[in-house]
Chain A
Amino acid sequence: MKRINADTILGVLFGGLGVFIWVWSARWIDIESYDPIGPAYFPRFMAAIIVGMSAVLVLQSLLTVKSPAHKPDTKGVQPWVYQLGSVLLACSAYLILMNPLGYIISTFAFLGVLIIILGVRNWKTVAKSSLFLTAFLYLLFAYVLGVLLPDGILAVIFS
């Protein structure tokens, strides 16, 4: 029984990426260069390797019954999926909010949320850990290394 698995999908995705690179690189073919092959040659060379190997990966996955790398879960959605999704969301929110809120507030909130997501339920531990880590990182980078971290809404206090 031949069936599609994760490797088949990844093979198709990487193959698609290779084709995209090949097509996108066409815009640099006519650019004058100091070498005879030009700026499009090397990316296209890599794209060709990726397409070729992706085709092999797809064939390999179709010729084997089980995916060699990933066994699909049949027990429904695992708790780590929610945990991982929440971590990714928290990271995205941190990236968006760091400038407007400032490093100190956003990092304290980010660390608190992250520690809760990762499994700590005692609020005192959460508060103490996020406060200590935020203070440690801020003092290390802002004062010891002299990095200009975003002040955000605390700019009034710092200015």
Chain B
Amino acid sequence: MENLLTGLENVFTLNNMLAIWLGTLAGTIGGAIPGINASMTMALLLPFTWGMNPITALLMFVGVYCGGQYGGSIPAILIGTPGTTSSAATVVDGFLMHQKGQTGKAVGISLLSGGVGGFISTILLIFIAVPLASIALAFGPPEYFGLAIMGLTMIASLSGKNIVKGLIAGAFGLLLSTVGLDPFSPAIRFSFGSLNLVNGLEVIPVMMGMFAVGQVLYQIRSHEDLPGLDEKAMTQFPTWQEFWRCGPAMVIASVVGMIVGIMPGSGASIGCWIGYNEARRWSKQPELYGTGIMEGVAAPEAANNAVTGGALVPLLALGIPGSNSTAIMLAALMIHGLVPGPLLFLEHPDIPYSIFVGLFVANIAMLVVGYVFLKAAIKIVNIPEPILNAGIIALVFVGAFTINNNLFDVAVVFAFGILGYVMKVYGFPVTATVLGFVLGFLVETSLRRSLTLSDGSWMIFLERPIAAVLLAVAIITIVFSLYREFRPKSKDASSAA
């Protein structure tokens, strides 16, 4: 309770409130622009957090995270193109409602259900993250190694279509984290004589390159002319009766979204579909879903906003990010020398509790910003794609330059942008590489500390029950995914032969 009050004190300062509200606005705008999502907006804002207080930086990202989920529904409803993958399910009923002339009600219920989903998941976050963090306090290096490997294998298997490519991408990300000075010896690894690489690769340029530049380059390849948005569209809130009618769908989808958010590698893009399906399954009139009904918009929007609270559980309690957005939040914490996980609750309890309170405020901000700035957001969405993409590249480049006042970081952004593009084109999950890179230090140091404790014996991972279970889950995930991967193709091959 005392920590929660500290969180309240931290959040209700001018700077932090401004950070949440501006973050929510940026997220709403970013989410509303097709091709840009919450994680890309966060990557673009990452350099600005350099001189910020860590709590202010995180609260801004919490705002971006919430705003991004709602923002994605604006183009989903108005032009039938989701602004983010997490709003893909909203297109089904939302766009039909728009075509039926119920634009205001569709956008209104999307905003309200997003708020409901966000509030439910924040309450559940407080009740799950705190006990989980106290359990995780018993973790030593073998458990952390098991946990990181489990998270990484789940992401490698879930974030792409091909587990083999996912594992290559994850291992490549782990390898990237070894560049520079070794933490246990004077060896300088993979610097190839470059002084710029002695301290390793910076997190910000790598992320901005892979997420922002990679995405822009990919858009050039898969270019589609998008229709403009209807500037006359206004937020017209649904009646209380209509809102209550959507209640069950919102609650079911919120709980489902929260659970999906906790699982690493799933995220809002999967959560919105599962939330939509579960709300339809439990509905008294499931046959109406897909015909342009309000519940069909409420469910995916409640689910994708509920994912935000869920995704913060593994990040805050265990220090393992489960999605692109939480990986960037992890980077923001690391920039300020903070390591999320159980110790964060002991050493800096003000940070997780400020995030809990910040999430509440961000959901309120989302409701207000969404209502007030809908018209402005629509205008920004209508910026011609070439100008928008050119602006993104220039912003990312100058953002990377600010880190060390060095063009090398700009070159890193460019190189990782090309890498991100190539990976996207050939089906390698970028998320697995980025998470491998972010978790690399934890994985390597935990492994080496564990083997130091056991005099080089790998049996330590079997002797520690939690580590053994976590690694067993990782192995089962890989084996199951490989089985799933090869089973249908062998049938195809035999039929082709």
The answer to whether A and B assemble together is yes
Which secondary structure characterizes the binding site on chain A? helix
A23 surroundings in chain B (CB, below 8 A) = none
Report if A4 contacts B (CB, 8 A).
no
Q: What CA separation (Å) do A65 and B284 show in the bound complex?
A: 46
Number of interface residues of B (CB under 8 A): 62
Whether A50 lies near B394 (C-beta < 8 A) is no
Shortest CB-to-CB span from A51 to chain B, Å, is 10
Chain A residues numbered 87-133 whose CB sits less than 8 Å from any CB in chain B: 87-88, 91-92, 94-95, 98-99, 103, 107, 110-111, 114-115, 118-120, 125, 129-130, 133
Report if B493 contacts A (CB, 8 A).
yes
Whether B426 lies near A84 (C-beta < 8 A) is no
Chain A residues numbered 116-159 whose CB sits less than 8 Å from any CB in chain B: 118-120, 125, 129-130, 133-134, 137, 141, 145, 147-149
Q: Say whether, besides A80-B223, A137-B394, A141-B398, A53 and B448 are in contact (CB < 8 Å).
A: no
CB-CB nearest in chain B for A9: B426
Q: What CA separation (Å) do A137 and B398 show in the bound complex?
A: 8
Whether B455 lies near A87 (C-beta < 8 A) is no
Shortest CB-to-CB span from B33 to chain A, Å, is 15
Q: What CA separation (Å) do A39 and B182 show in the bound complex?
A: 6
Whether B489 lies near A64 (C-beta < 8 A) is yes
Whether B384 lies near A39 (C-beta < 8 A) is no
Q: What CA separation (Å) do A20 and B386 show in the bound complex?
A: 40
Q: What CA separation (Å) do A141 and B175 show in the bound complex?
A: 33
Which of A80, A125, A141 meets B402, CB within 8 Å? A141
Report if B308 contacts A (CB, 8 A).
no
Number of interface residues of A (CB under 8 A): 67
A36 surroundings in chain B (CB, below 8 A) = 451-452, 455-456
Q: Say whether, besides A24-B190, A88-B418, A70 and B425 are in contact (CB < 8 Å).
A: yes
Quick one: CB contact mask for B162-189 with A, threshold 8 Å, 1 for yes?
Answer: 1011011001101100100010111101
Shortest CB-to-CB span from A79 to chain B, Å, is 9
Whether A129 lies near B390 (C-beta < 8 A) is yes
A57 surroundings in chain B (CB, below 8 A) = 164-165, 168
Q: What CA separation (Å) do A87 and B48 show in the bound complex?
A: 26
Whether B401 lies near A147 (C-beta < 8 A) is yes
Q: What CA separation (Å) do A49 and B436 show in the bound complex?
A: 13
Report if B444 contacts A (CB, 8 A).
yes
Whether A133 lies near B178 (C-beta < 8 A) is no
Report if B211 contacts A (CB, 8 A).
no
B452 surroundings in chain A (CB, below 8 A) = 34-36
Which of B164, B182, B401, B447 meets A28, CB within 8 Å? B182
Chain A residues numbered 7-40 whose CB sits less than 8 Å from any CB in chain B: 7, 10, 14, 21, 24-25, 28, 31-40
B161 surroundings in chain A (CB, below 8 A) = 68-69
Which of B168, B220, B401 meets A87, CB within 8 Å? B220
B451 surroundings in chain A (CB, below 8 A) = 35-37
Residues of A within 8 A of B (CB): 6-7, 10, 14, 21, 24-25, 28, 31-43, 46-47, 49-50, 53-54, 56-57, 60, 63-65, 68-70, 80, 83-84, 87-88, 91-92, 94-95, 98-99, 103, 107, 110-111, 114-115, 118-120, 125, 129-130, 133-134, 137, 141, 145, 147-149
